[in-house]
Amino acid sequence: MFKYDIMTDQEMKTTRIQWLFGNVCNYDCSYCPTILHSSKVKFGDPEILANSIQYTVSSLRMLDRAPAFEFVGGEPTLNPGLLAMCQRMGNRQLKNRLVTNGSASMEWWKQHYHYFSLVEISYHTEWANQQHIENVVDFLMSQKDYNNNRKVKTRIMMHCTHDDAQWNTAIHTYEIFKAKGYPIELKLLYSNFTKGFQFLPYKTYQLKYYFEERGENWDPEQTMYFGNLKYDGQSRARHDLTRETLDKKSGKIAKNWNFGGYKCNAGVDQFIVDNKGWVWRGWCRQGGRIGNVLKQNVTWQQEAWTCSKSVCRNGFDQLATKFKDK
């Protein structure tokens, strides 16, 4: 009689999938480009989305890869097909991440929370209802397993603009949340939002507060925003104050996110799905499309790709392991 060994998700290598739903959003933040929240790019058909995520999960597990989904795009909790997608993932615990503004109803959270291991709430002072966000965070942090461990890791990202009034409002709320013991982090914004590394023109007192809250010294001459490639295998963890990035395989340093000529595991460690179902190695679009999950015709990648870019701009792309050929 044959005995089949079935690998658990904990034994499999993780593949991260960042899935962009579209740009439907119930906020209209002044610093967010219209293209990211115009609500013109609608959500896909719920049944097709559910079938496509089932196909993705099954295909990756056939390759001994444990999928970990990250849902983004506009406001993903508005997607009427999200629950069906979550239900099609199977009954094994997945390391899924939800990036949200936290505005969904309490009923929504009670129905969906257990499908995620990490909920990251982007707090935008122009639109957020502080009391509602507190209710959501209190609920998520109160959910415990049999060992009294929290079921869902929760993190608040407090987005701060350089406008004095908006800054003061954000910091006031930040201090309240911090006093309540909420996991919270201040986030400064780029001048061109998603492209490049330049901060908005923050004032000296704002930058000083930001860096002191992080327990780091602020160099007034340093106006560029760089990140240090660092992650724990499950979630993003970027460090904002160094101009150096670490090559995870060789341990060597790459300057200014330039990995041109490096081998990159974007497409293997992780990949993206755009709002039309097209699969790409990363937001850099290196190597072109590798298939479409809606059509269920993806050529799953198992080898690293040679990077031809002069800078790795996207935070998700930066998480893919990179190494030099020997």
Tens digits of residue pLDDT in 191-218: 665 554 567 788 888 888 988 888 877 6
> Tell me, what's the pLDDT at 48?
92
Residue 238 reports pLDDT greater than 70: no
pLDDT of residue 93: 54
Q: What is the pLDDT of residue 224?
A: 40
Give 174 or 261, the one with higher predicted confidence.
174
Q: What's the CATH code, domain 17-323?
A: 3.20.20
Rounded Cα distance between 184 and 80, Å, is 28
pTM here?
A: 0.79
43-72 pLDDT per residue, tens: 888 899 999 999 999 999 999 988 999 998
User: Cα dihedral sign for 150, 151, 152, 153?
Assistant: positive
